[in-house]
Amino acid sequence: MLLISHATDDKKYVEYLVTFFENIGLNQKHMICSSAPGYGIPLNQPVYDWLASKFMDFDVDLYVIFVLSDRYYSSSPCLNEMGAAWVTKKEYTSILLPGFNFSQIKGAINPNQISIKLDSDEDELKQRLNELKDN
């Protein structure tokens, strides 16, 4: 299962990511994304309890995509998801939105782990997105 951890204000970028993952075959059974209709937390569910159950369910192989921006680091729910991924040792990929730089990565995310920067060189971006698709 894939969790796209992002700030609500970064929704326009996240919509493209959801489409990217849909195009490679993921659907509502495989993806959690609170900003995409059909991919969010079910009605009447307590948000943090529901998310915690996904992080703690050993029958679910949860992979996290961190969509990093200044807005991400200003969001308590985002930082909660980052901490949960760190504590449960989930694999992840970081995607840096335009204008957000590698030097700004902090917290529980390893700044030395190779990430995807959306405003990088076009050839590099294509290569990294292909690697993400293969993962």
Domains, the chain, with CATH or none:
2-134 (3.40.50.10140)
Q: What is the pLDDT of residue 116?
A: 97
Q: What's the average pLDDT block by block, 10 residues per block, for the chain (135 residues)?
A: 96 96 94 94 92 87 96 96 95 97 94 94 95 91
What count of other Cβ atoms lies within 10 Å of the Cβ of residue 92? Answer: 20
Q: What is the pLDDT of residue 131?
A: 95
Q: What is the pLDDT of residue 135?
A: 85
For residues 28 and 9, what is the distance between their CA atoms, to the nearest angstrom? 22
Token pair of 24 as six digits: 């490679």
DSSP state of 45: -
Q: What is the pLDDT of residue 60?
A: 82
Instruction: Using the structure block, give the residue that is written with the tokens 């971006």.
Output: 125
For residues 48 and 99, what is the distance between their CA atoms, to the nearest angstrom? 30
Q: What is the pLDDT of residue 117?
A: 97
